[in-house]
């Protein structure tokens, strides 16, 4: 297995929440994270059918364009009672339907860049669970696939997972995405309420990272 040398590593993501977490997880290893957004690298279309497929295509696109090794993360929330949805469509569930979009003309015209609001996506998860009826369970898990691609095309991928329960209403504003509605097993706080360091100790991203570090760094 190829080792990841200290030095610059592209973080092939345009999600600030993820970039923040990945930079914190990489902190101890002498690796300097550079975000794809900083280098103006485009966001490839996520055409894969699995988390790993999508992580690999994002890592490959950034490594090809930058000539540096690139790390991509594809992740999402899988709800048992919804047959694993939203899954690889977790980011896409946060996209408002066209009928609800033109509220802010400046945002609609692309003049302002707004941080993605996940209240709509969380509401959708909640509504779809309610539609399943009172028997539908609240079990869910997050999955995180991490892929490192080198400029010569060599690629290594890892997957992590954390199990939990969905709560309603959402609680806390410390994480990102679906964090406020996800309570990991054995804890009273949601990921949205937790200290970021605590989330890094138990999250799907931390689980995938442990595997990556063991294989590529340790």
Ligand X SMILES: O=P(O)(O)OP(=O)(O)OP(=O)(O)OC[C@H]1O[C@@H](n2cnc3c(O)ncnc32)[C@H](O)[C@@H]1O
Q: Does 76 bind ligand X (CB under 6 A)?
A: yes
Q: Which residues partner with 33 through β-bridges?
A: 9
What span, in angstroms and rounded, lies between the C-alpha atoms of 96 and 117?
A: 10
CB 6 → ligand X: shortest distance, Å? 23
Please confirm, yes or no, whether 74 is among the known catalytic residues: yes
In the annotated binding site for substrate, the residues are: 13-18, 75, 176-179, 199, 204-205
**How distant, in Å, are the alpha carbons of 5, 42, 119, 120, 195 from that of 141?**
32, 29, 19, 19, 19
Q: Which residues partner with 140 through β-bridges?
A: 79, 164
Q: Which of 90, 157, 183, 190 binds ligand X (CB under 6 A)?
A: 90
Q: Does 75 bind ligand X (CB under 6 A)?
A: yes
Q: Does 59 bind Mg ion (CB under 5 A)?
A: no
Binding-site string for ligand X from residue 99 to residue 128, where x marks contact by CB under 6 A and - marks none? -------------------x----------
Binding-site string for ligand X from residue 188 to residue 207, where x marks contact by CB under 6 A and - marks none? ---x-----------x-x--
Q: Which of 10-18, 27-35, 126-134, 150-158 is the region at the interface with ligand X (rule: CB under 6 A)? A: 10-18
The string over 101-134, giving b where at least 16 C-beta atoms fall within 10 Å of a residue's C-beta and e elsewhere, is eeeeeeeeeeeeeeeeebeebbeebbebbeeeee
Query: Residue 206: how many CA atoms within 13 Å on its side-chain side?
Result: 11
Q: Which of 71, 148, 176, 212 binds ligand X (CB under 6 A)?
A: 176
In the range 85-104, which residues lie near Mg ion by CB under 5 A? 91
Question: Strand runs (DSSP E) across 41-105, as ranges?
Answer: 70-79, 85-86
What span, in angstroms and rounded, lies between the C-alpha atoms of 74 and 18?
A: 10
What span, in angstroms and rounded, lies between the C-alpha atoms of 196 and 201?
A: 9
Q: Which of 10, 15, 57, 79 binds ligand X (CB under 6 A)?
A: 15
Q: Does 178 bind ligand X (CB under 6 A)?
A: yes
**How distant, in Å, are the alpha carbons of 47, 81, 108, 167 from that of 135?**
34, 9, 40, 15
**Active site residue: 74, 83, 117, 173, which one?**
74
Q: Does 160 bind ligand X (CB under 6 A)?
A: no
Considering Cα of 110, then 112, then 116, then 119, what sign does the dihedral take?
negative
Contact of residue 60 among Mg ion, ligand X, none (CB under 5-8 Å per partner type): none
Q: Which residues bind Mg ion (CB under 5 A)?
A: 91
Q: Which residues bind ligand X (CB under 6 A)?
A: 13-15, 18, 43, 46, 73-77, 90-91, 118, 142, 175-179, 191, 203, 205
Active site positions, annotated: 74
């Amino acid at each position: 297995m190829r080792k990841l040398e200290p030095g610059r590593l592209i973080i092939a993501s345009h999600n600030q929440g993820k970039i923040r977490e990945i930079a914190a997880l990489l902190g101890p290893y002498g690796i300097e994270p550079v975000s794809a957004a900083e280098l103006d690298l485009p966001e490839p279309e996520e055409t894969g059918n699995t988390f790993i497929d999508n992580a690999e295509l994002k890592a490959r696109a950034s490594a090809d364009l930058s000539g540096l090794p690139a790390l991509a993360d594809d992740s999402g929330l899988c709800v048992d009672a919804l047959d694993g949805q939203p899954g690889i469509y977790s980011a896409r569930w946060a996209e408002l339907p066209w009928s609800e979009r033109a509220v802010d003309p400046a945002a609609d015209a692309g003049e302002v860049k707004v941080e993605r609001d996940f209240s709509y996506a969380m509401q959708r998860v909640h509504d779809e669970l309610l539609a399943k009826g009172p028997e539908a369970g609240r079990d869910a898990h997050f999955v995180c696939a991490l892929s490192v691609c080198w400029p010569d095309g060599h690629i290594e991928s890892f997957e992590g997972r954390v199990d939990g329960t969905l709560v309603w209403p959402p609680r806390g504003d410390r994480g990102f995405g679906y964090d406020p509605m996800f309570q990991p097993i054995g804890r009273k706080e949601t990921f949205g309420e937790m200290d970021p360091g605590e989330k890094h100790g138990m999250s799907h991203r931390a689980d995938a990272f442990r595997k990556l570090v063991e294989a590529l760094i340790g």
